[in-house]
Structure 1
C-alpha cells in the first residue's frame, strides 16, 4: 500500500513518548492523505511519480553487482564469533541508501515502529495511557493521560519502570538510542484492551519498589482542547492533525459558536503536523478556496483546496488569531500559512514556525515496515516557499510567563501553587488584540531551528 504525506521527523525531544502505542512527537507530520492504512483521494491525485531516470532491469543488475560483491565478501570472510545478523545488515543498507539522499525526511521505519506510528495517528491506542521519559538507560512515567488505567492505578510522574511482565527494562534497552529504547518499551506496554500487564515500579529517592497490575484499555488521545475565555473569546488548541481531529474540531465549534464569541484564538503552538486531509478540513471551517500548492518537479504547481464542513461548523467571519511558534511544523504551517494568505481578519502571533515544506509518500513494505520518500515541496496559497524558512507571524511575541501576562489556564495547563491563573505572553496578547485591538510592540524575529 502507498499513501502520500508531508511528514517531519524531528526526533524525540527529551526522550518523551506515548506508551499507549507511540512516541509523543516522534514524527512531526503534515501528511498528504494519511498514514497507513489511510487512502485519501490525494494519493490518486498525485499519481505514480516520475520515472524518467529509472534504470532497466539489466542496468540495475549491473549497478547492483558491486553491492553483492561486498555482501558476499562480508558473508565469507568477516571475523565474527556469533552468526551475522543479516536482517540488521539489510536494514543498515536501507538506511545507508536513504541517508545518501541527504534528505532527513526520506526514511525507513522498522515494522514495530511503523505499527506504533499507525496506531498513534488514528488517535486510539491499546495500552495503559501514559507518556514515558527515557533517560540514562531507564524508563520513567512522564505524564499519565487523564482517565487512563495509569491514572486509575495511581502511577506518578517520575516513577521508574523497573520491569514489565517480569522483563527487566535496563538490560532490554541497554545500548539502544532513545528512539530504539522507546519502541522496545512501548511494544511491551501496549496490547489488546482487556489484557493485563504487570509493572514493577520504583518511586522516590528512597528507591521504594512495588508491583502493580493494570488492565489495558482503548486509550483515546484527543487532539483538541477548547473553552470560552474571558471577554467572550473562544479558544481551540490543535495538538496534532490526526484521523479524529476533524470530528473533534467540529464538536468544539458546535459547542462554542452558539455563544456568539467576539473572536477565536486557534492555538497551533508545538503542533508537529499530521494528516493533510484534516488540515484541509480545518481550513474549510474558515474559508473556501486554495489551501496550498504542490510542486512536484519544479515546473508546475498542483492546486489543493480546502474541504468545507457543515454550515453549523463554519466560522468564516469570526475575527481570528492563530498562535504559532518554533514547534509549529508541517500541517500546522499549512493551516497557518493558508489562513494568513487567504482569510481576512486573521492574524498570526507568536514566533517563526519550524519550516518544513516537503511531501512524502509512505509505502508499506512486505515486512510490515514502511519507506517514506520525499516526492514534492508545497507552497502557501500565495505561492510562498517555507521549507527551511518557516512562517514569520505578523505579530512577533516571545513566550514568557510574566505576572503581567496572567490568563486563564488552557488545555492541560495548571496554575502555579497558590495561584488561580496561568501566565502566557502569547495568549495574553492574542486576547488583547481580539478584545481591544491593542497590538503587541515590535519584537525581533525568533530564529528557526537548523534543518
Structure 2
C-alpha cells in the first residue's frame, strides 16, 4: 500500500507538471524502485525494515534537490507542526535537563501544573511510575511522556528543595497556549518595542493586540525586532506588513513552474500603524517570513532596516501529507519582494552540505563585523518605490549595518550558557528571594538591583562543580555580560510569572539598554521619519 501511495503521488505530480514523457519517466523510475524493494524483501540475507528503507530512500532522493525540500516521518511532521501551532496539549511546564535530571524552569501561566502547585525548581523524577531521570532523559522522551490528549491524567513524582520525601502530583492535561510575540513594551516616551520570535498560527493576532496596546500608551515610533526569527507562515508576515502599509501596494509575490503557483499579496486593510516612523531589526538568523516582512517594508520605503544581512531563505515549500501521515515539504515557488528581488541566496542542486556552511563562511569572511566584507552583486540592482537602491542576491541587506558585538564574549561565558549555569542560578535565586523581591515593583528592581560579588562567586563555584575550568581573563571580559544575563533571568522568573499575556518584557527591558543594535535603532528615528515622508535627501545613513 505504501508503494502504491508513493507511485500515485509521483504520477499525479507528473501529470500536474504536464507531458506524457514526464509521466513515462516517473513510471519507469517507480518500476525500478519497486523491483529493488521487492528483491530486498524476498531475497536479502537478513531481515530488514522495508518502511525504514523507503524513508531512507526518499530522504536521499531529496538531497539531489534544493536545500529546503524535505521529507518528514509521521513523528517528525507532528513535532514540526506543533512548533507553529497556537498551543499544545500537555501539563504546561517549561523544563530544562541538567545532569540527566529534568528541572521545572517555570510552570506556564494558567496551565494545569501551575494550578495544582508545581513550582520552579522542582525535579521530575518519574512519570506514571516510569523513571524520567537518568541517561535516557532527552527532550524527545520528556515531550513524549508529558504531552498527551487533553483530559488525560498523568502522575508525577516530584523532588522539591526543602521536602524530605518526593511529592506525588496527579495532573490533568489541558490545552497550553504558546506565544510568538515575546515582548511588547514602551522603550521611551513615545517609542514602542515589539519582539516577534516566529510566525505561527497566533502571531498576527498577538501582534495586533500588542500594537494596539502600545498605541493606546502613546506610541508614535516603533522598533520591530525580527532578529533570530526563523520564519513560519507567510500569510502572517503579509498580514503584519498590511498593518503598516496603506493602499493596495504590493507586499510580496511568488513564481513557480506552474501558473497556479504564481501569486501576489497586496495591502488591502486600514492598518493600525500606517503612519509613524518604523525601525526593523534583522540579523543572519532572520529568515523566510521575517525576510518577507522586512523586504516589503524596505521596498515600500515604509521602514528603516537595521542590523545585518538576513539568512536568505526564499523558497516556498508546500506540505504534502502522505497516507501514512508522513509529510513531503516540496519546494514549489520562490518569494520576491515588491522591487523584484529574490530573497533566496544562491545554491547548487544536490549540495546542501555546502549550503549549510553559508553562515559560518559569512562569519569567517568578516561579514558579521564589517560592512565592506559584504560583496554585493551589482547586476542584481533594484529600486524601492521611492527610487532608493537595493540589491538582490540573497537575503535582505539592511539600510544601516551594525556589526555583531563580541566584546564581552569568551569561551568561559559560552560554557556557562552551555551547561545552563546562569539559568539555574537565576532560577534558584528567584525561588528563594521571590517574596522579598515582589515587595517592590519591577521598576525598582530594574534601576536598583545589582548582581553582586557573592552571587558571582557562587556561580563560579557551581561552574567548577560542573567541570568548567575558571579562567580569570575570560571571566573579567564577560563579567558584565554575566551580571546582565543573571539580572534579566531573575526579572523574568520573578515578575514574568505574574504576567497573564505570555510576554517576557522583563528580559528585554534589562538586556536592550546594553544592546548595540537597539541603541543604534533609537538614534536612527530621524532617518526613519525622513524615509516615511519620502525625504530621502535628509537621510544620513553613513
Q: Establish whether TM, by shorter chain, passes 0.5.
A: yes
Q: With CA pairs under 8 Å and 6+ residues apart, which has the higher RCO, 1 or 2?
A: 1
Cα deviation, 1:48-82, whole Å, max 9, x if unaligned, reads 9633486336x5453333323332332234343xx
Could you tell me whether the CA contact under 8 Å between 1:127 and 1:189 is conserved in 2? yes
Deviation at 1:319, TM superposition (A): 0.2
Higher deviation after alignment, 106-115 or 273-282 = 106-115
Rounded Cα–Cα distance in structure 1 between residues aligned with 2:156 and 2:284: 37
Which one has a larger percent helix, Structure 1 or Structure 2? 2
Instruction: Please identify the structure whose Cα radius of gyration is greater.
Output: 2
Rounded Cα–Cα distance in structure 2 between residues aligned with 1:440 and 1:227: 28
Match of 1:338 in 2: 296
| 1:361 paired residue among 318, 322, 326 | 318
Match of 2:255 in 1: 295
| 2:523 paired residue among 421, 428, 432 | 432
Match of 2:71 in 1: 108
Could you tell me whether the CA contact under 8 Å between 2:195 and 2:225 is conserved in 1? yes
Match status 1:124 vs 2:87: yes
Rounded Cα–Cα distance in structure 2 between residues aligned with 1:121 and 1:194: 22
Structure-2-length-normalised TM-score: 0.59
Match status 1:56 vs 2:20: no
Cα deviation, 1:369-388, whole Å, max 9, x if unaligned, reads 21110011111111112212
Describe how 1:377-388 pairs up with structure 2 within 5 A.
Answer: 377-388=334-345
| 1:349 paired residue among 302, 306, 321 | 306
Deviation at 1:162, TM superposition (A): 5.0
| 2:34 paired residue among 68, 81, 92 | 68
Rounded Cα–Cα distance in structure 2 between residues aligned with 1:304 and 1:172: 51
Match of 1:6 in 2: none
Rounded Cα–Cα distance in structure 1 between residues aligned with 2:60 and 2:99: 27
Could you tell me whether the CA contact under 8 Å between 2:527 and 2:541 is conserved in 1? no
Question: Residue 437 and residue 277 in structure 1: after superposition, are their counterparts in 2 closer, same or farther (change >3 A)?
Answer: closer
Structure-1-length-normalised TM-score: 0.70
Rounded Cα–Cα distance in structure 1 between residues aligned with 2:330 and 2:97: 29
Could you tell me whether the CA contact under 8 Å between 1:198 and 1:213 is conserved in 2? yes
Match of 2:496 in 1: none
Rounded Cα–Cα distance in structure 1 between residues aligned with 2:111 and 2:149: 15
Could you tell me whether the CA contact under 8 Å between 1:130 and 1:142 is conserved in 2? yes
| 1:165 paired residue among 112, 128, 142 | 128
Question: Residue 139 and residue 51 in structure 1: after superposition, are their counterparts in 2 closer, same or farther (change >3 A)?
Answer: farther
Question: Residue 242 and residue 420 in structure 1: after superposition, are their counterparts in 2 closer, same or farther (change >3 A)?
Answer: closer
Could you tell me whether the CA contact under 8 Å between 2:527 and 2:540 is conserved in 1? no
How many residues were matched structurally? 375
Match status 1:329 vs 2:420: no
Cα deviation, 1:308-351, whole Å, max 9, x if unaligned, reads 34x4x43112100001112111001100011001133x211122
Describe how 1:182-331 pairs up with structure 2 within 5 A.
Answer: 182-200=139-157, 212-224=169-181, 225-287=183-245, 288=247, 289-297=249-257, 302=262, 304-309=264-269, 311=270, 313-331=271-289
Secondary structure in structure 2 of the residue aligned to 1:76: helix
Rounded Cα–Cα distance in structure 1 between residues aligned with 2:201 and 2:213: 20
Which one has a larger percent strand, Structure 1 or Structure 2? 1
Match status 1:93 vs 2:60: no
Deviation at 1:147, TM superposition (A): 4.1
Match of 1:397 in 2: 402
Higher deviation after alignment, 67-76 or 423-432 = 67-76
Deviation at 1:248, TM superposition (A): 1.9
Describe how 1:15-54 pairs up with structure 2 within 5 A.
Answer: 50-52=17-19
Rounded Cα–Cα distance in structure 2 between residues aligned with 1:134 and 1:263: 41
Secondary structure in structure 1 of the residue aligned to 2:227: coil
Question: Residue 303 and residue 56 in structure 1: after superposition, are their counterparts in 2 closer, same or farther (change >3 A)?
Answer: closer
- Give unmatched runs, 5+ long, in structure 1: 1-47, 175-180, 443-451
Secondary structure in structure 2 of the residue aligned to 1:274: coil
Secondary structure in structure 2 of the residue aligned to 1:248: helix
| 1:412 paired residue among 504, 521, 529 | 504
Question: Residue 49 and residue 275 in structure 1: after superposition, are their counterparts in 2 closer, same or farther (change >3 A)?
Answer: farther
Question: Residue 414 and residue 398 in structure 1: after superposition, are their counterparts in 2 closer, same or farther (change >3 A)?
Answer: farther
Deviation at 1:155, TM superposition (A): 4.9
Deviation at 1:139, TM superposition (A): 6.1
Question: Residue 256 and residue 168 in structure 1: after superposition, are their counterparts in 2 closer, same or farther (change >3 A)?
Answer: same
Could you tell me whether the CA contact under 8 Å between 1:127 and 1:217 is conserved in 2? yes
Question: Residue 327 and residue 363 in structure 1: after superposition, are their counterparts in 2 closer, same or farther (change >3 A)?
Answer: same
Secondary structure in structure 1 of the residue aligned to 2:81: helix
